[in-house]
């Protein structure tokens, strides 16, 4: 379970972790299992943990006054789940996060991750790289939502994160793209027709 986290840290940081450093990481991260549809975080609660997904998938979403879900993030293995703003600022979350499949995570508090950053150079570098990539991904997502057509947003998702299309139901993919399931179905049919 912890080996995937060790590999992730090493890959992102390009720094090898000593056994002593890995012991510190083991002490900081606690395993937790979530059943399908079980909440990791509910709107209004403070996000006390961020979780590294070892197995399974999760979604992060808000619900508007009409009861419509708006998915802002889909997460699979080797991704992180949590509301970053709430986690860092200790403010009530605007989001719900729940398990789409039975999911296994390694959870860590903000206090523990900050301590690890000062003690384990690979963890500090990993977070720097994650922050950079997160900012780039957020900027791309914002650009896509205001500049690209529904079909272009779908194709960008297909090219960038094809695994998400295999792991999540069409309704969730549509919500993530900001389109209706009917529009998504039409786009997929048109693309298949063009390939024939």
H or E segment to which residue 89 belongs: helix 84-89
pLDDT score of 194: 80
Sign of CA pseudo-dihedral 154, 158, 164, 165: positive
For the domain that residue 93 is a member of, what is the CATH number?
Answer: 2.60.120.10
Task: Tell me the CB-side half-sphere exposure of residue 185, using CA atoms within 13 A.
Answer: 5
- Examine residue 184 and state whether it is found in any structural domain, yes or no: no
pLDDT score of 196: 67
- Examine residue 46 and state whether it is found in any structural domain, yes or no: yes
Q: How many domains does the chain have?
A: 1
- Examine residue 164 and state whether it is found in any structural domain, yes or no: no
- Examine residue 31 and state whether it is found in any structural domain, yes or no: yes
- Examine residue 190 and state whether it is found in any structural domain, yes or no: no
**Nearest-angstrom CA–CA distance, 170 and 74:** 12
> Which residue range(s) make up the domain with 15?
2-120
pLDDT score of 1: 85
- Examine residue 144 and state whether it is found in any structural domain, yes or no: no
- Examine residue 42 and state whether it is found in any structural domain, yes or no: yes
Judge whether 49 and 38 are in contact, CB under 8 Å: no
pLDDT score of 56: 98
- Examine residue 183 and state whether it is found in any structural domain, yes or no: no
Q: Two tokens at 32? A: 């937790």
Give me the average pLDDT of each 10-residue run along the chain (196 residues): 94 95 97 98 98 98 94 97 96 98 98 97 96 93 92 94 95 95 93 80
Model-level pTM greater than 0.85?
Answer: yes
């Amino acid at each position: 379970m912890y080996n995937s986290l060790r590999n992730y840290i090493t890959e992102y940081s390009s720094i090898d972790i000593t056994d002593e450093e890995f012991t510190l990481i083991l002490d900081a991260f606690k395993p937790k299992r979530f059943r399908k549809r079980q909440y990791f975080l509910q709107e209004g609660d403070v996000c006390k943990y961020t979780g590294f997904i070892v197995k399974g998938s999760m979604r992060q979403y808000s619900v508007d006054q009409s009861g419509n879900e708006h998915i802002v993030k889909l997460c699979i293995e080797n991704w992180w789940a949590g509301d970053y703003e709430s986690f860092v600022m200790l403010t009530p979350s605007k989001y719900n996060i729940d398990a789409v499949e039975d999911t296994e995570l390694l959870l860590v508090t903000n206090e523990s991750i900050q301590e690890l950053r000062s003690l384990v150079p690979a963890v500090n570098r990993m977070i720097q790289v994650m922050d950079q990539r997160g900012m780039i991904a957020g900027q791309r997502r914002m650009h896509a939502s205001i500049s690209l057509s529904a079909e272009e947003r779908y194709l960008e998702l297909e090219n960038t994160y094809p695994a998400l299309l295999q792991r999540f139901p069409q309704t969730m993919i549509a919500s993530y793209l900001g389109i209706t399931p009917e529009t998504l179905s039409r786009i997929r049919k048109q693309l298949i027709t063009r390939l024939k």
